[in-house]
Amino acid sequence: MTSITYSLACLSSGAIAGIVGAAALIVGLLIGLLGYRLYSLNKVGLAKREAARIVEEANLEAKTIRKDGMIEAKEQLHKMRSEFDKETRERRADLQKSENRLIQREQSLDKKEEFLDKKQEEIESSAKQIESTKLKLKGIEEELGLAQEKVQKELERVSGLSKEEAAAQLKDSLLQGVKRDCAVEAKEIETQAKEQAEKRAKNIISLAIQRCAADHAADSTVSVVPLPSDEMKGRIIGRVGRNIRAFESATGVDLIIDDTPDVVTLSSFDPVRREIARVTLEKLVADGRIHPARIEEMVDRVKKEVEQSIKEAGEEAVFDAGVHGLHPELVKLLGRLRYRTSYGQNVLKHSLEVSFIASIMAAELGADVKIAKRAGLLHDIGKAIDHETEGTHIQIGVDIAKKYKENPAVIHCIAAHHGDVEAETVEAILVQAADAISGARPGARRESIENYVKRIEKLESLANSFDGVEQSYAIQAGREIRVIVKPEKVNDQATVFLAKDIAGKLESELDYPGQIKVNVIREVRSVEYAK
């Protein structure tokens, strides 16, 4: 009981102390709130007073700024008015100047108008004078016409010729005189030109020929193979002709066995085949074993040998000519020309000779030596395959040169070397001349008597076809033709033109090597006998 009482006493004192503490805390809080409220009220009052002061200062400053702005605006307005007045005065001055210039121009135009009016009056006056003068001239012309008619009628009466007849006679007389003077002048010019041109041409050609002398041996389209005895002919023919048939089939060449002792003949227009057949037959005869299998074996072997010799011949020709950079196929085709002939002349030797002659003449004349030499060597390249390809050897040669990308100048020389196209370069003309020189050498080519007679007859018939020609004679193996004219139809001056016309017709209608001299002769004979 005592302990409970003590406990209650202790509890009561603690509670009281807590209550007192709480009450003190509440009182402290209330005092703090009261102090904060008083501080806040004091701070708001200060802020209101500060705001009022700032507003008053702003109002004072605004009044000051407004006053300064008004002053500045007035000054700017005054300045603008001054500038406007100045610009207005300047524009008025410019307008015044323009007005003065317009006034002066109007005055000038008025003066010009007055001057033009005066000129118009003068022109009208001159036109009237001209019209009156024309009328007077017309009258004078009519009078002159009448007088001229009278004079013309009088002249016709006196001369016995009409106006047309007199004009024709005068025209004929003038034409005759002009022709005579032209013929004399042309003859003198031609004589001088020929003397100089022929002299230099002869020097150049003779120099080229002397520096390029060559031997000539005529070849033919047949080859003769000697035999050790006539007994060999039977072995060549074989049993029932099997050997000869096998030989002709393998070579493509005709083997002719006749009564000629100890020889057989091979005939073919293809020179390479003929050469293969000749070498094959010689080897078979030397070997003695002749039968179809052996013939085929020997033909194959000889073909390889001939192809190798063709290649070597082409390379040798290119080296001798001094031509470089040829396509290998062109070199082979050149080698084939070794076995090709033209009128009995070996075409490879002919091509080399043309190359040499053309290059020498080109050097003398200052032309392109390389082009002339190359074109001369290749000018007959078409003859290497003209037995196998259709067309002329010129067209074939042009196609071959184009195929292997030859120089266009060389192709033109090939195309023009027989005159099929007009020569446009000096080198083409030189190749033409060199080709003619090489073919016209004595002994270079052979010509059958029939072709020779036909050419001579055609030469004389062309000359006889001209009016006034009495007779013509071809001499110097067709290198010169002498034309006898009728003296009553052709005068001395006309002989010059007749010679030119005949030469032109020969050039256009006749094929011939070198050149032909046309010699026109006019002769008047007076014969009388003394008795």
Tokens of 229: 């005895």
User: What pLDDT, on a 0 to 100 scale, did the predictor assign at position 39?
Assistant: 73
Q: Which stretches within 366-513 are classed as H helix?
A: 369-378, 393-403, 408-416, 426-440, 449-464, 492-509
| Separation of alpha carbons 416 and 404, rounded Å | 19
**Of the candidates 268, 254, 264, the residue with the CA atom closest to the CA atom of residue 341:** 268
Residue written as token pair 């509440």: 26
Tokens of 268: 């073919």
**Of the candidates 499, 527, 503, the residue with the CA atom closest to the CA atom of residue 516:** 503
Q: Please state the φ and ψ torsions of residue 390, each to the nearest 5 degrees.
A: -75, 150
User: What pLDDT, on a 0 to 100 scale, did the predictor assign at position 483?
Assistant: 92
Contact 365, 204 (CB under 8 A): yes
| Separation of alpha carbons 375 and 381, rounded Å | 10
Q: What is the mean pLDDT of residues 275-282?
A: 88
Q: Is the pLDDT of residue 230 over 50?
A: yes
User: What pLDDT, on a 0 to 100 scale, did the predictor assign at position 205?
Assistant: 58
- In tens, the pLDDT along 13-44 reads 666 777 877 778 888 888 877 777 777 777 77
| Separation of alpha carbons 187 and 195, rounded Å | 12
- In tens, the pLDDT along 472-494 reads 988 866 778 999 998 888 888 88
Burial class from Cβ neighbours inside 10 Å (0-12, 13-18, 19+) for residue 64 reads: exposed
- In tens, the pLDDT along 153-171 reads 776 666 666 667 767 776 7
Q: Which stretches within 417-465 are classed as H helix?
A: 426-440, 449-464
| Separation of alpha carbons 314 and 291, rounded Å | 34
- Which range has the worst mean pLDDT, 85-94, 106-115, 191-200, 318-327? 191-200
Burial 218-253 (b: 16+ CB within 10 A, else e): ebeeebebebeeeebbebbbbeeeebbebbbebbeb
**Of the candidates 408, 431, 406, the residue with the CA atom closest to the CA atom of residue 418:** 431
Which CA distances in Å does 153 have to 66, 144, 162, 166, 385? 124, 14, 9, 13, 81
Check the CA dihedral 506-512-514-517 and report its sign.
negative
Instruction: Tell me the pTM.
Output: 0.48
- Which range has the worst mean pLDDT, 57-61, 116-120, 442-446? 442-446
- Mean pLDDT, the chain, as a whole number? 80
Contact 333, 348 (CB under 8 A): no
